[in-house]
Structure 1
Amino acid sequence: MTKKEVLLEINHLKTYFPVKRKSMKEEKKVVKAVDDVSIEIYRGETLGIVGESGSGKSTFGRAILKLVEPTEGEILYKGQQIQHLKGNKLQKYRNQMQMIFQDPFSSLNPRMKVGAIIEEPMALQLTLTKEQRKKRVKELLQKVGLSEDTMHKFPHEFSGGQRQRIGIARALAVNPEFIIADEPVSALDVSVQSQVLNLLMDLQDEFHLTYLFISHDLSVVKHISDRVAVLYLGRIVEIGTKNELYANPLHPYTKALLSAIPIVNFDEPKQAIPLQGELPSPMNPPVGCVFHTRCPFVMEKCHQVRPTMEEMNEHQRVACFLYDK
């Protein structure tokens, strides 16, 4: 089997946010948004990240791009450490890693015309003439299914799906290799979601892109991803190929998530697995396994020891004592 090339390697990444104290006597507290995540992203693949709201998905993506500053850990892009880079040294990586944001309206400057929005990153990061930039803007609009006239209009003149296409064109403007898509279709109508997803897949093939696709919608993730990582309270509890993970989920949290997917074939009914209680606070995550407060299979060991990620087969790894060898 051909060995896959690692484009991005994340080792023990932590992103904590300090909580403002009401008085000097109050103990310092932090929100542990991302808590010791290690993962590899292979060139040309789409890695899906799923989990409940508040599980740290978006913060994880933003920490990789240093849109928020990681607290600890190592980020290697093509084998080069980038977590400590700043200023001009970081700038050269900006055109290789881009982001598509969740809300296509708030991520676009309402005072700028679409052509200027897409052209702006080129002017900052690429050595192109004004004519070359204009030509590329027109090409990118065509690639994402929009007309040339789009460049002369403002974002408010478009629908949500069209605005997200503009956001995709802006992300492609500087010829990136790696794109983080943070809930790119969650704000869109269902009828438009499939169009945008198929567009992303077509662009991936054409431009040889690598995606980190963040979503809470398991059906969407299954459609677009090659591998899927399940995040709970800032920690990865299971990762595997989409076929293996969806057909044979191992972690109790993964099973509960998949059981919540709406049924399409009523001839094959399935029983939802309800989770007891609420998601614990990331300011005070449970000791040991972070899922033990809601797990139906909790053991005494789960209260004290944090399970490590173990390889169960060629395509799947899980952090759970139910599979302790």
Structure 2
Amino acid sequence: MGDKEKLLEVQNLKKYFPVKGGVLQRTVGNVKAVDDVSFDVFKGETLGIVGESGSGKSTLGRTILRLLDPTEGKILFEGDDISTLSNRKMRPYRKDMQMVFQDPYASLNPRMSVGEIIEEPLIVQKVLSKKDRKDKVVDLLQKVGLPAEARDKYPHEFSGGQRQRIGIARSLTLNPKLIIGDEPVSALDVSVQSQVLNLMEDLQDEFNLTYLFIAHDLSVVKHISDRVGVMYLGKLAEIGPKHHIYNNPLHPYTRALLSAVPIPDVERKREKIKLKGELPSPSNPPTGCPFHTRCPEVHDRCKVELPELVHQGEGQYVACHLYTN
């Protein structure tokens, strides 16, 4: 990836939510939703971010888009530091960074027609004339596989898959460079999931898009991603090219996740790695490696010392003491 141009750089990003307690509602602790995460996203690629519920994936995506303000760290978009910009100064960047939300039912305004939903970003950013805006809406609807007549209908008149296509059309309105998909197919039927994923891949080529694709389903991420990052308890456990992560997972957590993915081959047997215990609370994470309380290969060092993300060759990084010295 050395010759590719960076679109997004995330440096030591943290997002903590204060926990209030007592009569005076003082801050008594923090939920460490994203805790010191760093990675790059290159132009034209799809970086998948996976992890179980509570790992901080969605908070990471929303913080990068500045829907949430970061607690610490930097977010560089095309080299510009956007991590501390005010809402007014963020406005020019909004058109280059868009989000496709998880729930196509909740993310569309039921009182607005589909045409109004897709046209709204153009009105907010004050681009194009009224006629050109209407033409653009029809063009985008056709690009996502919906008829022009759909613009006069309302969200409740469409199926889940069609609604997500409307959400994707809305995200494309301002010709963005980066789209963050926050579990964009997890609320859809399996048969519809592949159609939406194929659509997103086609649109990526046509519009020269870069994706940050957040999901908990490893088979979905494998289908669409070039590189994959694995999150656990607010931290990156492992990140690297897709074929390395799936064929040669290094972190015990990544191996456990992959062992749970069904194989469509009856003859092949894969031993399932069963993790003991529950995901610890992000408001009180364990000392040392955050995974040590459930890790089948835990050592004494893991309980006291936090492992750093170390390069293991060919773009694969892992945060595990099994690979440090």
| Within-5 A mapping of 1:178-189 | 178-189=178-189
Q: How many Å separate the matches in 2 of 1:87 and 1:280?
A: 34
1:272 corresponds to: 272
2:320 corresponds to: 320
How big is the shift at 1:266?
A: 1.6
1:141 corresponds to: 141
| Within-5 A mapping of 1:250-269 | 250-269=250-269
Q: How many Å separate the matches in 2 of 1:24 and 1:304?
A: 34
Q: What amino acid does structure 1 have at the position aligned with 2:78?
A: K
1:71 corresponds to: 71
Does the CA-based 8 Å contact 2:19-2:27 persist in structure 1?
no
Does the CA-based 8 Å contact 1:177-1:209 persist in structure 2?
yes
1:115 corresponds to: 115
How big is the shift at 1:321?
A: 0.5
Q: How many Å separate the matches in 2 of 1:8 and 1:25?
A: 37
Unaligned 5+ residue runs, structure 1? none
How big is the shift at 1:146?
A: 0.1
Provide the secondary structure at the position in 1 that maps to 2:168: helix
How big is the shift at 1:28?
A: 1.2
TM-score by length of 1: 0.98
Provide the secondary structure at the position in 1 that maps to 2:312: strand
2:231 corresponds to: 231
2:162 corresponds to: 162
1:213 corresponds to: 213
| Within-5 A mapping of 1:1-325 | 3-24=3-24, 28-325=28-325
Q: How many Å separate the matches in 1 of 2:6 and 2:287?
A: 32
Distance 1:82 1:2, change over 3 A: closer
Q: How many Å separate the matches in 2 of 1:207 and 1:199?
A: 12
Does the CA-based 8 Å contact 2:20-2:27 persist in structure 1?
no
Q: How many Å separate the matches in 1 of 2:45 and 2:127?
A: 29
Does the CA-based 8 Å contact 2:113-2:154 persist in structure 1?
yes
Spell out, residue by residue over 1:253-308, the C-alpha distance to the aligned partner (whole angstroms, 9 max, x if none).
Answer: 00000000012112111010000000000000011100000001111111111000
Q: How many Å separate the matches in 1 of 2:308 and 2:24?
A: 37
How big is the shift at 1:2?
A: 6.2
Spell out, residue by residue over 1:216-268, the C-alpha distance to the aligned partner (whole angstroms, 9 max, x if none).
Answer: 00000000000000000000010011111100000000000000001211211
Spell out, residue by residue over 1:83-108, the C-alpha distance to the aligned partner (whole angstroms, 9 max, x if none).
Answer: 11113211000000000000001000
Q: How many Å separate the matches in 2 of 1:229 and 1:320?
A: 14
Q: What amino acid does structure 1 have at the position aligned with 2:270?
A: K
The aligned length equals 325
Q: What amino acid does structure 2 have at the position aligned with 1:107?
A: S
Q: What amino acid does structure 1 have at the position aligned with 2:239?
A: I
Does the CA-based 8 Å contact 1:33-1:56 persist in structure 2?
yes
Q: How many Å separate the matches in 2 of 1:59 and 1:2?
A: 28
Q: How many Å separate the matches in 2 of 1:23 and 1:174?
A: 47
Does the CA-based 8 Å contact 1:237-1:319 persist in structure 2?
yes
Provide the secondary structure at the position in 2 that maps to 1:264: coil
Q: How many Å separate the matches in 1 of 2:187 and 2:108?
A: 15
Q: What amino acid does structure 2 have at the position aligned with 1:83?
A: S
Does the CA-based 8 Å contact 1:230-1:254 persist in structure 2?
yes
Provide the secondary structure at the position in 1 that maps to 2:15: strand
Unaligned 5+ residue runs, structure 2? none
**Identity over aligned pairs, percent:** 63
How big is the shift at 1:20?
A: 2.3
How big is the shift at 1:314?
A: 1.2
TM-score by length of 2: 0.98
Q: What amino acid does structure 2 have at the position aligned with 1:155?
A: P
Q: What amino acid does structure 1 have at the position aligned with 2:17?
A: F
Q: What amino acid does structure 2 have at the position aligned with 1:255?
A: R
Does the CA-based 8 Å contact 1:126-1:174 persist in structure 2?
no
Q: How many Å separate the matches in 2 of 1:112 and 1:276?
A: 48
